[in-house]
Chains A and B, each alone.
Chain A
Amino acid sequence: MSARRVCLAFAAAIAVASMPFASRAADPQEIVIGSILPLTGPSAQTGAGLRTAQTLAADLVNGHVSYPLPMVGKSGLPHLGHARIKLVFADSQGKPDQARAAAEQLITQEHAVALIGTYASSTTATASQVAERYGIPFLNPDSSAPSLTARGLKWFFRTTPNDATFAENFYQFFADLNRTKKIAVKKVAVVGEDGLFGTGAGDAEEEIGKRRGFTIVTRVAYPATTTEVNAEVQKVKAAAPDVVMMASYAPDALLFMRGFKDQGILLQGILAQDAGFIDPGFVKTEGKDAEGVFTREVFSLDIKHRNKAVPLIDQLFRLRFGDKPLDGNTARDIMGVLVLADAIDRAGSTKPDAIRTALQNTNIPGILTLMPWKQIKFDAQGQNVGGVGIIEQIQDGKYETVWPFDVAVKAPIWPMPAWKR
């Protein structure tokens, strides 16, 4: 290569390098939010959906088409000279140590003003520790382990309800049934697999039930890999509960359903913590026997009756994500970005302290969200106190929202139909 060519190439390189600098000066400011998601690994499929959802939310904030949602359609953040938000993604691979490294990288190299993520409770736990150390706000839209907000962190905020909320919802549902239909539920059996999921849900169900004056007639924990549940079903039968609360995966959920039916156990209701009971195979396998089973959910497209943004956002999401509908995870992540953008805007600054104070003062009414929530308002631990779940019931082979009553599309069938022998 001749000297002249080298010089030319060098000059061209300088010209190219200076271009983005020049154009950046003319653009409004860009505010970087670091997002940690499982983009590879076993949860990559979920991660891809969440990434699409968050990108959609950022575009909604930066755009100028308005929906009844916080911060949407104001062409960026008005209090910061219509600065645009920019999401920078980092991969957790679903592993706690990778999530920790991703948080470190986003804070030190990308200069993120706040972090969002990370879906799995275990990765959220480590990533939020890093944010705590650097004094950077961390918004968690989608992890449900109750322990996350019990760590006394100053910079951690969670918008989604946790597993204890769902247990609380079951009892609120009973109270509402009692108030409107004079239905009295007293005796509750708590059944769940003996892993983190079943134990956490079962503990909350038992503790909240006792506190609210219900009788927990039996607590059954069984190994999730069991191939028979004869003893477990006999325990439930002997305890003669009005309702059974279940936290089970698919094979064990099917074993219990068959056991309850074989033993002719008369239940007013089976209330499940989703998992096995919302598996696509559940209704297919159980057929008519699945009728009347209740399960909690975090979200349902039925919420369109409350906020007309839901079907619109669902359409936009489908366009971007291969016609897959908006679900609980993706809706929660869209809300997460909006809540964070709202806080940064109200802070009127990118200083971490100001954003943290703004998050503490967050107060968004539930009807301005995509969720069934009452509001978004954080307590001292950073947990959203307005979070609620939905209760669905299998009616005619479909999952229909039956609670909260203001979101419901169908009335609950209570008691659930007796087993057909």
Chain B
Amino acid sequence: MEALTTFAQLLAGGVLTGLVFALVAVGLTLVYGVMDVVNFAHGEFLMLAMYATLGLALIGLSPFAGLPLVAIALFLFGIVVYRVFIRRLLAGPPEATVFGTFGLLVLLQGLAQALFSSDFLSVPHPPLQGTLRFGGLAISQATLAEGAGALVLTAALFAFVEYTETGRAMRAVAEDRVAATLMGIDVQRVNGLAFGIGAACVGAAGALLMLSYPVFPTAGAPFALTAFVVVALGGFGSIQGALVGALLVGLLEVFGGFYLSPELKMVPVYLAYLAIVLVRPQGLLGRR
């Protein structure tokens, strides 16, 4: 009985952890899918969103009320970054975006360090600090909210890309940039929009994460690292892939940590990653 409860608890922990990873990863995968850019500063966008949420919380807006504002702010920030920075990098050799976004990572971390110091800060009296209990199962409300938020967001993004005119344009650009241009699609505009939406996703993620995490200049880095694995596992550019990959990573991490050893909890994750990219280089749901 005891072992069964533990198993159920780990299962719940793995799924919810996975959903949080998905939340961070969808923005990354969207940007990659549309413009073939791996944004290495993705974790720093998350960190900025967390600071923004904290700032709003300090003037009295809870992370939930702050979420749309932070998402909009990050959307605009993403478009600005695309216009002044990424667009120029895209004109250069393919490595330019790698080094460029990595430089952005260093810059944003440094700025955060200078502006906010390296202290750990958290939202004062965040909502949803209780725990829900189902028999022997205990689930934190904050984690549940993060997971639910991630599901809704991923579904909304999927619907947007699948069923709207702009979404179709994005898919067209992802499919064949030249052909899309010939069909009258403004590739620059679509790219900018995709980058902005990617940033907005991570903005929403940052707001939700402030329910249970503290923020500091390198807070985004470990999430981004996992997000890269998630995106590679699920298939670059695939939104459903990000969700599947994230759940897989979450479950492997939690079960590996318990039944193997916490020190080795990332080992099954990376082994699965290696195995999957060996068999399917494009990832689980990615297209070649």
Chain A interface helix/strand/loop/mixed: helix
Stretch of A10-18, A95-103, A227-235 at the chain-chain interface: A227-235
Are the C-beta atoms of A231 and B139 separated by less than 8 Å?
A: no
Total interface residues on A, using CB and 8 Å?
32
**Which chain A residues border B120 with CB–CB below 8 Å?**
250-251, 254, 279, 281, 285
Q: Does A421 contact B (CB under 8 A)?
A: yes
Task: For B221, give the chain A residue with the smallest CB separation.
Answer: A225
Are the C-beta atoms of B265 and A222 separated by less than 8 Å?
A: yes
Q: Does A105 contact B (CB under 8 A)?
A: no
Q: Does B198 contact A (CB under 8 A)?
A: no
Nearest-neighbour CB distance to chain B for A19, whole angstroms, equals 47
Q: For residues 239 through 258 of chain B, which have their beta carbon under 8 Å from a beta carbon of chain A?
A: 250, 253-258
Complex CA gap A287/B129 in Å reads 11
Are the C-beta atoms of B6 and A234 separated by less than 8 Å?
A: yes
Complex CA gap A231/B265 in Å reads 9
Q: Does B282 contact A (CB under 8 A)?
A: no
Task: For B226, give the chain A residue with the smallest CB separation.
Answer: A227
Total interface residues on B, using CB and 8 Å?
42
Q: Does B166 contact A (CB under 8 A)?
A: no
**Which chain A residues border B10 with CB–CB below 8 Å?**
230-231, 234
- Specify which of A230, A235, A237 lies most central, judged by the most chain B CB atoms within 10 Å of its CB: A230
Task: Encode B207-231 as 1/0 by CB contact (under 8 A) with A.
Answer: 0000011101001011101100000
Are the C-beta atoms of B14 and A230 separated by less than 8 Å?
A: yes
Task: For A261, give the chain B residue with the smallest CB separation.
Answer: B131
**Which chain A residues border B254 with CB–CB below 8 Å?**
228, 230-231
Task: Encode A203-243 as 1/0 by CB contact (under 8 A) with B.
Answer: 00000000000000000111101111111101101100000
Nearest-neighbour CB distance to chain B for A7, whole angstroms, equals 55
Complex CA gap A284/B214 in Å reads 11
Contact check: which of A231, A235, A254, A258 meets B256 at CB < 8 Å?
A231
Interface CB pairs A-B, < 8 A, 20: A194-B263, A222-B262, A227-B213, A229-B262, A230-B14, A231-B10, A231-B256, A231-B258, A231-B265, A234-B13, A235-B262, A237-B6, A251-B216, A254-B120, A254-B213, A258-B140, A263-B138, A279-B120, A281-B120, A281-B122
What are the nearest 4 A-B pairs in CB distance? A231-B257, A230-B13, A231-B258, A250-B120
B interface, CB within 8 angstroms of A: 2, 6, 9-10, 13-14, 17, 20, 119-122, 124-125, 130-131, 138-140, 142, 212-214, 216, 219, 221-223, 225-226, 250, 253-258, 261-263, 265-266
